[in-house]
């Protein structure tokens, strides 16, 4: 089973793709989709949709895991992330994938062992879980992989 994890954002959307196996999850790909801050929002959203749709077409995920916004005091940021989440859900719907949502705290808890893990601790936990030699960079890509791994830990290792 292929799982696409997404760390939504309109400036930078991280993603990670894992293949779930009985032995361990296998990293198939990861990256970041960036938009230019000078572009109008509808054009930025189109860039996100087009690029994420290409990722989904290439890897054909059966599950898409999107980071859920837990709480944000900055309304502008919350709206922006909400728009990116909507794009992610639209891509999932068009690719026929099921959608799951977890907060960053949940991903940190299940991957790193506690919900308040910092970026470096989460990167190391993702690296160990995947059995790879180097941490995943940049942070947004690692966060996308962590979303996919959260699904793996909660639903596949039962």
124-151 residue pLDDT tens: 999 999 999 999 999 999 999 999 999 9
Known catalytic residue at 67:
yes
Mean pLDDT of 22-30: 93
Report, at the CATH architecture level, how domain 2-156 is classified: 2-Layer Sandwich (3.30)
DSSP 124-149: HHHHHHHT-SS--SSHHHHHHHHHHH
User: 34: which 2 tokens?
Assistant: 């960036």
Q: Across the chain, where does the E strand assignment appear?
A: 2-7, 12-19, 26-34, 63-68, 98-103
Catalytic residue among 7, 101, 139, 143: 7
pLDDT recorded at residue 121:
96
Average pLDDT of the residues of the chain: 93
Known catalytic residue at 140:
yes
Per cent of the chain over pLDDT 70 is 96
Burial class (CB in 10 A: 0-12, 13-18, 19+), 74: exposed
Catalytic residue among 46, 118, 124, 140: 140
- Which strands sit side by side in the sheet containing 12-19, from one edge to the other? 26-34, 12-19, 2-7, 63-68, 98-103
Known catalytic residue at 40:
no
The band of 69, judged by pLDDT with boundaries at 50, 70 and 90, is confident
Q: Find out whether 27 and 135 touch, Cβ atoms under 8 Å.
A: no
Only one residue has tokens 């949940």, namely: 106
Domain boundaries, the chain: 2-156
């Amino acid at each position: 089973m292929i799982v696409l994890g997404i760390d939504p954002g309109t400036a930078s959307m991280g993603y990670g793709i894992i293949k779930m196996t009985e032995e361990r999850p296998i990293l198939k790909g990861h990256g970041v989709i960036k938009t230019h801050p000078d572009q109008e929002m509808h054009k930025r959203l189109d860039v996100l949709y087009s690029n994420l749709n290409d990722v989904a077409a290439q890897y054909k995920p059966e599950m898409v895991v999107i980071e859920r916004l837990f709480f944000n005091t900055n309304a502008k940021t919350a709206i922006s992330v909400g728009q990116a989440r909507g794009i992610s859900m639209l891509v999932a719907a068009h690719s026929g994938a099921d959608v799951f949502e977890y907060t960053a705290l949940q991903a940190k808890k299940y991957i790193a062992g506690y919900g308040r893990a910092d970026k470096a601790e989460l990167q190391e936990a993702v690296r160990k879980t995947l059995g790879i030699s180097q941490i995943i960079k940049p942070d947004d890509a690692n966060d996308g992989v962590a979303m996919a791994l959260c699904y793996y830990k909660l639903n596949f290792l039962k």
